[in-house]
Amino acid sequence: MADYRELWGRLGMDLEKHDVLCEVLPQLYGGVYLGQENRPEGMNYYNFVVSEVHGLRIKELDDHKKQGGKVVGTFCVFVPDELILAAGAAGVGLCAGSQFWIEDGEKVLPRNICPLVKAFTGAKVGGTCPYFQSCDMIVGETTCDAKKKAWEVLDDYVDTYVMDLPQMKRDKDYKKWSEEIYDLKAKLEKLTGNEITEAKLAEAIKLCNRKRLALLRLYSARKALNVPISGKDALLISQIAFYDNPERFIEMTNKLCEELEERIKNEVSVSKKDDKRILISGTPMAVPNWKIHHILETSGAIVVAEETCTGTRYFENLVDESAATMDEMINALADRYLKINCACFTPNKGREDDIIRLAKEFKADGVIYNSLQFCHTYNIEYANVEKALKAAGIPVLFIESDYSNDDVGQIQTRVEAFLEMIG
């Protein structure tokens, strides 16, 4: 990576601490990713993106800011990217997936909460994430209690705006969510000094839909019996989707999909004949959380899909492009986003249906239900999901984990027993 120290210094980062991360990440990536056999050529782009994760993209954001643009950070797939783009701002997903940031997070938050929240808070508090440091504003949301209260802490460090996400899906909740989207629009216009016009929003809706379609195409390729790409690689692509330049991401992902479709025709596969096809369902896996995929794919399984926010919840359902007026567009956004079935909603029967549908569509032999430690909504929701999956005759294994490696051996043993059982 070129020397970006001057830029990181300007962003107010703790350079010494950040040096440690710069050493850890390539090692981790090398161990998990680079030893895979028969990887698609198109993965070279994503290798490059990872090698420049704190470099080139940060420079692009810096250039954007030098030209008067703003950077807006988000933490949840309910926050409409369309508005951020229509305001001429760059959006970056800031959920953090490394144990590295936990220590700093625990300086300002209790220890017994979700690692994702501790990690993104620690990344800001410790000044070790250049994406976070690049943000002019972050947009939080009222999903789980841990996030809700973390915004109050983060507001001391960065301008923090919170969207009030309804927790049910009644008619009045759609109306309320539309109003919240309108409020975000006003906030973004104020931040950027740019008016979000109907034309700009229509363009941003089309762009985000094209990104969703590229991811949908990637996932469709994974339905093939000869799986052309590993679950680990597909997860990486989804993770990169949250911070890469959208146009470039769409172009490179569609290019990769062409290669995958060729592979399917030629029966080129990364999986072995006996590998068990697994659907992962549960909490999001932020970079560089590749733990469960790595365990599965080194134990005789291939991950064929993720019912997570770094998976199908991010890209399923398009925003209706026929909406023409601002009101219609905002309502179309509210409709599309409230179709996401996150465990923070009650009741949430739609998620059970999604998991069963995906397990069937992707011909999964079993489901790994993965919940981050202390994520009450996903942990509790397991009871109903398990019941539904059992009734549908789909085997499921529950794994609760954090970002440390302490439980890798134990998870590996349980995964091996599960794969043998469904064999």
Q: Point out which residues bind ligand BJ8 (CB under 6 A).
A: 76-78, 114, 116-117, 143-144, 146-147, 283-284, 309, 313, 340, 342, 344, 372, 375, 377-378
Amino acid symbol at 111: R
In a 10 Å sphere around its CB, with 0-12 CB exposed, 13-18 middle and 19+ buried, how is residue 370 labelled? buried
Nearer to ligand BJ8, 45 or 78 (CB): 78
**Of residues 23, 151, 75, 119, the one with CA closest to residue 310:** 75
What tokens were used for 157? Answer: 């460090």
State in angstroms the smallest separation of the CB of 306 from ligand BJ8. Answer: 12
Nearer to ligand BJ8, 253 or 283 (CB): 283
DSSP 104-143: HHTTTS-SSS-HHHHHHHHHHHTT--HHHHH-SEEEEESS
Nearer to ligand BJ8, 144 or 303 (CB): 144
State in angstroms the smallest separation of the CB of 345 from ligand BJ8. Answer: 9
**Of residues 191, 173, 281, 171, the one with CA closest to residue 231:** 281
State in angstroms the smallest separation of the CB of 188 from ligand BJ8. Answer: 19
Nearer to ligand BJ8, 88 or 105 (CB): 105
What tokens were used for 225? Answer: 């019996």
State in angstroms the smallest separation of the CB of 236 from ligand BJ8. Answer: 18
Bridging pattern class, strands 90-93 and 276-282: unpaired
DSSP 68-80: T--EEEE-STTS-
State in angstroms the smallest separation of the CB of 309 from ligand BJ8. Answer: 3
Nearer to ligand BJ8, 123 or 257 (CB): 123
Nearer to ligand BJ8, 65 or 169 (CB): 169
Instruction: Answer yes or no: are the C-beta atoms of 85 and 208 closer than 8 Å.
Output: yes
Nearer to ligand BJ8, 134 or 308 (CB): 308
Nearer to ligand BJ8, 205 or 344 (CB): 344
CB atoms within 10 A of CB 297: 22
Q: What are phi and psi of 40, to 5 degrees?
A: -60, 145
Nearer to ligand BJ8, 204 or 285 (CB): 285
State in angstroms the smallest separation of the CB of 343 from ligand BJ8. Answer: 7
What tokens were used for 21? Answer: 């991360």
d(CA 184, CA 140): 11
Instruction: Answer yes or no: are the C-beta atoms of 49 and 210 closer than 8 Å.
Output: no
State in angstroms the smallest separation of the CB of 286 from ligand BJ8. Answer: 9
Sign of the four-CA dihedral 300, 352, 147, 70 = positive
Nearer to ligand BJ8, 330 or 375 (CB): 375
State in angstroms the smallest separation of the CB of 373 from ligand BJ8. Answer: 9
State in angstroms the smallest separation of the CB of 225 from ligand BJ8. Answer: 30
State in angstroms the smallest separation of the CB of 79 from ligand BJ8. Answer: 8
Task: Return left, alpha or beta for 193; rule: phi > 0 is left, psi -120 to 50 is alpha, else beta.
Answer: left
Largest Cα–Cα distance of the chain, in whole Å? 59
